[in-house]
Amino acid sequence: MPGHASSVASAHGPRSRMTSPARRPGATILVVDDDESVRVALRAILETDGYAVDEVASGQAALRACQQGGPALIVTDLVMPDCDGLELLRTLRREHPDVPVIVVTGTEVLPQGALADIASRLGARQVFLKPMPVAAFRQAVRDLVTRP
């Protein structure tokens, strides 16, 4: 389709597709998950809502993408190879403290609520367990991306 471009996702760099204008000019959301099907599902939700989306398959790739130009929001998994989501949160808090992060994870490895508490203390603005409530996820994205 004219006006649409796409590239292939990899663990080494972002996959990007031009979409309709985001809710905040220049707003791009970076999706970080080693599971391609999750990235595709999150991309579909976010693009339906009018956001531009980049996606990467690892924490290290996410950090490289942030160095190339900060996204308006990061949506990340916690359990990934090479740099898990908690390490990603620690690094983002230190190097990119103004970029909000939403955690979407299928793993509750600690007692109920403990993972959310740890992620929140590391800077996550919202934590969702998969399968997540899509309406609440969309609202959290709206709230974080539209903030100045």
- Give 64-120 pLDDT, tens digit per residue: 999 988 899 999 998 887 787 888 999 999 999 999 999 998 765 556 667 777 788
Q: What is the pLDDT of residue 56?
A: 95
Domains in the chain: boundaries: 15-145
**How far is it, in rounded angstroms, from Cα 140 to Cα 53?**
16
Q: What is the pLDDT of residue 59?
A: 93
Q: What residues have CB less than 8 Å from 139, skipping those under 6 apart?
A: none
Please determine, for residue 124, whether its predicted confidence score (pLDDT) is greater than 80: yes
Q: Is the pTM of this model over 0.85?
A: no
Q: What is the pLDDT of residue 13?
A: 44
Pick the CATH number of 15-145 from 3.40.50.2300, 3.50.30.30, 3.40.140.10, 3.30.70.1290: 3.40.50.2300
Residue 117: phi and psi, rounded to 5, are: -65, -45
Q: What is the mean pLDDT of the chain?
A: 79
